[in-house]
Structures are given as structure tokens and as C-alpha cells.
Amino acid sequence: MTDDTRDFVNMSSVLTGFAASVLQPATDPQGQAGQYLAFLTGPDSGVAEAMPALLDVYRANDGKPPEAVGQAIMASPSAELARRIIKLWYSGAWYEPFDASTGFADTLRIVSAQAYTSGLAWRAAQAHPMGYSLLRFGYWNTDPPALSAFTGDSTHG
């Protein structure tokens, strides 16, 4: 794993509230974190030049409590990019910047084939996307595990 990938995953952990081990598990057949970083640093995202500055803000604050790191990122000129990365992790879609004249983003792109099913929104809701589940038949007959089982963060439920 490159330093950029490790730092991207750790920064994303701070931004999303999900443990780095959830964002990039030891056994990761989909490689979602790598796909996201490759997209963000590639020509199609439109933010390749801005990514180093965002990672530099994270690196300058690494080692501080997650809340302090998040506050530093959100107080930086890279805050809007960080918000878009949060949306990317949760929805699997890349949103263009907000357009005040129209009231919403102009375009939306799905980053990879599995991005929809890998979105963190499903884990946060303790659910699965329609038409896709790795759970056994009848799983709905029992209460779901604690939220921490989905986020990897035992400090928040």
C-alpha cells in the first residue's frame, strides 16, 4: 500500500466515521479505496490537482484526535473537496460542485461497478441495497447487530 493510499484511507476514516479497516479491509477483493483514490487523482474527477493539498492538511494533523483532524480539514480551503469525498464514500457517486444558480450539482457519476453496493449509506442504515445482499435467507427474523459491527467504531454504538 502506498503512503497516499494509506493516508487517503485514514483521512476517509476521519471524514466518514467508519474505521479504516472497514474502508480497506485486509482481504479486499473489490479494492474500493484504491478505486476511489485512482479516480480522484485521475483526469476524470476534475480534482487531481487539489488532492495533494487535502492530503497535506490530513498529514499535518495526523496523530491528533479524529475530531481535531476533521475540524482542521473542514476549516481548510479543501473543505468542499472533503465533503464531496464523504458523499463518494456514502453513495458511491461523484457529485460535481454545488451550483448556487440552479440549487444542485449539475452532474453525478458512478465511479465503479460495485460503488453502489459498497456505499457506506447501506452500512450506516444497517441495511443492504435493493437486489443485493450477502446475508442468509431469513436474516430479517433477528435484530441487527449493533451499529459498531457495521462501522468498525466501537465508541459510537
Q: What mean pLDDT comes out for the span 8-22?
A: 96
The one-letter amino acid at 1: M
Map grid coordinates 467508519 to a residue: 18
pTM of the full structure? 0.82
pLDDT at 105: 62
Residue 79, pLDDT > 70, answer yes
Rg (CA), the chain: 16
pLDDT at 106: 64
Give the lowest-confidence range in 11-20, 73-82, 116-125: 116-125
CA distance linking residue 153 with residue 66, whole number of Å:
12
pLDDT at 116: 83
Which helix (H) or strand (E) is 80 found in, with range? helix 79-91
Contact assessment for residue 36 and residue 114, using Cβ atoms and an 8 Å cutoff:
no
